[in-house]
């Protein structure tokens, strides 16, 4: 990782307009990569952007036969 700023769980919750526990659940499930520092986590902006990109509803989904 470069000199990219790291976001707190609280800041990510604010950005996503969700509860802090929701962000922690995403981290615990492995859906949102995070860095553990002592007893808290930090999330890179790139990881947050990738997390959001994967959840876009306007992405074309593969057709099933």
| Domain-located, residue 63 | no
| Domain-located, residue 50 | yes
* Number of domains making up the chain: 1
- Contact (Cβ atoms closer than 8 angstroms) between residue 44 and residue 8: no
This prediction's pTM:
0.81
- Tell me the pLDDT tens digit for each residue of 7-24: 999 999 999 999 999 999
SS3 58: coil
- Tell me the pLDDT tens digit for each residue of 36-65: 999 999 999 999 999 999 988 876 666 666
| Domain-located, residue 11 | yes
| Domain-located, residue 22 | yes
Residue 33 belongs to domain spanning: 6-54
Q: Which residue has the tokens 């000199």?
A: 3
- Contact (Cβ atoms closer than 8 angstroms) between residue 15 and residue 48: yes
| Domain-located, residue 64 | no
Q: What is the pLDDT of residue 41?
A: 97
Q: Which residue has the tokens 């859906």?
A: 31
């Amino acid at each position: 990782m470069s000199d990219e700023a790291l976001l707190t769980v609280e800041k990510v919750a604010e950005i996503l307009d969700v509860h802090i526990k929701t962000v922690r659940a995403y981290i615990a499930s492995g859906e949102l990569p995070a860095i553990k520092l002592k007893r808290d986590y930090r999330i890179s902006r790139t990881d947050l952007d990738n997390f959001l990109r994967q959840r876009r509803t306007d992405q074309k989904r593969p057709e099933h036969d």
